Structure 1
């Protein structure tokens, strides 16, 4: 199911710059009981990304109304929102008049086993590296080829996520998730200054830590630091929070900090639905 600029559609203009150049942004939202969860956080991040890419932000009220209407009646689904710079001629120059394209699509919710959230997942480090570009760091732009290539490194169910390093050998994120580690009671997550996507569950986790007096640090993190961690978990807006029970052949417990954050996030989702 697709909604293109407010109308049902099955195709996009071939001249759209999102297709031609990856010139746009996207948000991926979990839908429960007909409601897109944390829609306000997603729209704030979208607005921030639009400012940085100099794409006029579609009216937030319109996007909210379309998202709510499109997701209505779906018990569990994934809602994807794409905003591009719209159509333009050949060449990289932006159109003199920018008319953004907004595209919603609805997808079945992934059939992830429930024990991923309780017992944890298996992960490993990817060979594919993330390139550094501070101008694009943090935003969820449409250029995801590095993640596509990293995810192609495994095709079976032996692991559920791959962690990606940058060209300086720092661990940045998962192919589809943000990374957190816990060491001596301190919550650490990679600083996304040169690459990576700043996810909304990452944002929520850091805000929760600050509100609860849990020490948290955004910093450059090495592979050795990750492997020496007391606890490891990953986050995104569809999976929520997954503990990592095994990484690169090493076992990790689902520790107290991870359990605390997972429980609080479940309550936050419940409040979204109340």
Structure 2
């Protein structure tokens, strides 16, 4: 179930800059469940972030009606699935210099959502600190670009027993995210999330969570967070577009209780996998 420029099982040139240099961006989106109105959850936000990222990279791209129609059609055919949309700058010659005009390659694929995500929502998970740190590069921070070698290296490390994911810091020792999700800490009713100004991905679910927290009257701050700051938090949870909102039980030696509001926010954001 892969389409290249809306051609099923289409081919990609070996000279595509996404393959050669990771020159592009991607989005991982979830389709609505069978009991919901068919569609891609937060589609407008995903497309907006892709367009903004392309602008930052100097790639001329905007989602056209044909691509949007394809995404909506797939969402109707495959409820509660993952749709991945990859954009590359297109073909280019040997060398880093990008062509003046972009002939963007669009790659759409459909995937099942891992079954264990439902268990994660119910039980929470534990994190261990990754020995691999993220490099600091403000020109790329926040984007879901195709240069994912740091995450590949992080995921290559065998996880510690009874942990389900890695906590990732940058090379200056600041907490950034888990290997696949954004992180939030709750302390005395105040919500803190790491600033994504020098490393990491600012996920669509992170944006949605911040927006709904503010609407509910919670104080939310995005700021630089040190590892020791985690120890004073009462609750930690993580967010991404596929598993929604998941509580963290432990990070290394730190223990946390589950936040009473996470299940409600899963309902509000239509990302509850229990039904």
Q: How many residues align?
A: 268
Partner of 2:168: 164
Partner of 1:2: 2
TM-superposition CA deviations, 1:41-97 (whole Å, max 9, x none): 111111110111111113343332121123332133111000110001111111133
Partner of 1:240: 244
TM-superposition CA deviations, 1:82-121 (whole Å, max 9, x none): 0110001111111133111111011121111533113210
The 8 Å contact of residues 82 and 113 in structure 2, kept in 1 or not, is answered as yes
Structure 2: give runs of 5+ residues left out of the alignment. none
The 8 Å contact of residues 244 and 271 in structure 2, kept in 1 or not, is answered as no
The 8 Å contact of residues 43 and 60 in structure 1, kept in 2 or not, is answered as no
Structure whose residues are more often strand by fraction: 1
The 8 Å contact of residues 174 and 224 in structure 2, kept in 1 or not, is answered as yes
More divergent stretch after superposition (73-82 vs 15-24): 73-82
More divergent stretch after superposition (153-162 vs 63-72): 153-162
Residues in 1 aligned to 2:21 and 2:195: alpha-carbon distance in whole angstroms: 27
Partner of 1:67: 71
* Displacement of 1:268: 2.5
Partner of 1:265: 266
Q: Given the alignment of the two structures, is residue 23 of structure 1 paired with residue 27 of structure 2, yes or no? A: no
Structure 2 counterparts to residues 1-274 of structure 1, below 5 A: 1-32=1-32, 33=34, 35-112=39-116, 114-155=118-159, 158-256=162-260, 260-269=261-270
Give the match's secondary structure for 2:114. Answer: coil
State the superposition RMSD in angstroms: 1.8
The 8 Å contact of residues 58 and 100 in structure 1, kept in 2 or not, is answered as no
Residues in 2 aligned to 1:230 and 1:223: alpha-carbon distance in whole angstroms: 14
Residues in 2 aligned to 1:117 and 1:59: alpha-carbon distance in whole angstroms: 32
* Displacement of 1:243: 0.2
The 8 Å contact of residues 205 and 261 in structure 1, kept in 2 or not, is answered as no
* Displacement of 1:255: 2.2
The 8 Å contact of residues 159 and 165 in structure 2, kept in 1 or not, is answered as no
Residues in 2 aligned to 1:100 and 1:248: alpha-carbon distance in whole angstroms: 43
Residues in 1 aligned to 2:65 and 2:195: alpha-carbon distance in whole angstroms: 31
- 1:113 to 1:8, Cα distance in 2 relative to 1, 3 A: closer
Residues in 1 aligned to 2:160 and 2:229: alpha-carbon distance in whole angstroms: 27
Residues in 1 aligned to 2:244 and 2:202: alpha-carbon distance in whole angstroms: 14
Moved over 4 A (4+): none
The 8 Å contact of residues 82 and 103 in structure 1, kept in 2 or not, is answered as yes
* Displacement of 1:155: 5.0
